[in-house]
A = this chain, B = another copy of it.
Amino acid sequence: MFRGLSAVNLDAKGRLAIPMKYRQLLVDLCAGRLVATIDTEERCLLIYPEGEWDLIQAKIEALPSFNPSARRIQRLLIGHATDIELDANGRILLSQPLREYAQLDKETVLLGQGKKLELWSKDLWNSRRDDYIAEVNSPDALPDELLNLSL
Are the CB atoms of A69 and B149 closer together than 8 Å? no
Are B118 and A35 in contact, CB atoms less than 8 angstroms apart? no
Q: Which of B57, B68, B97, B142 contacts A114 (CB 8 A)?
A: B57
A73: contacting residue among B46, B114, B146, CB under 8 A: B146
Q: Are A76 and B3 in contact (CB under 8 A)?
A: no
CB distance from A13 to the nearest CB of B (A): 18
A30 interfacial contact with B, CB 8 Å = no
The answer to whether A135 and B72 touch across the interface, beta carbons within 8 angstroms, is yes
Of the residues B5, B35, B83, B129, contact of A82 by C-beta under 8 Å? B5
Contact partners of A35 in chain B: CB under 8 A: 3
- Rounded to whole angstroms, the CA-CA distance of A49 and B35 in the bound complex is 23
Residues of B within 8 A of A143 (CB): 63-64, 67, 69-70
Across the interface, do B132 and A75 meet the contact criterion of CB distance under 8 Å?
yes
Chain B residues with CB below 8 A from A60, complex form: 149
A145 / chain B contacts, CB cutoff of 8 Å: 63-64, 70
The complex places the Cα of A115 from the Cα of B78 at a distance, in Å, of 11
Interface assignment of A133: CB less than 8 Å from any CB of chain B: yes
Question: Which of B4, B41, B78, B142 is close to A81, meaning CB atoms less than 8 Å apart?
Answer: B4
A40 at the interface (CB under 8 A from B): yes
Would you list 11 pairs from A and B whose C-beta atoms are within 8 A, ordered by A residue?
A: A3-B78, A3-B82, A59-B149, A63-B146, A64-B143, A72-B132, A72-B136, A75-B118, A76-B129, A77-B151, A116-B151
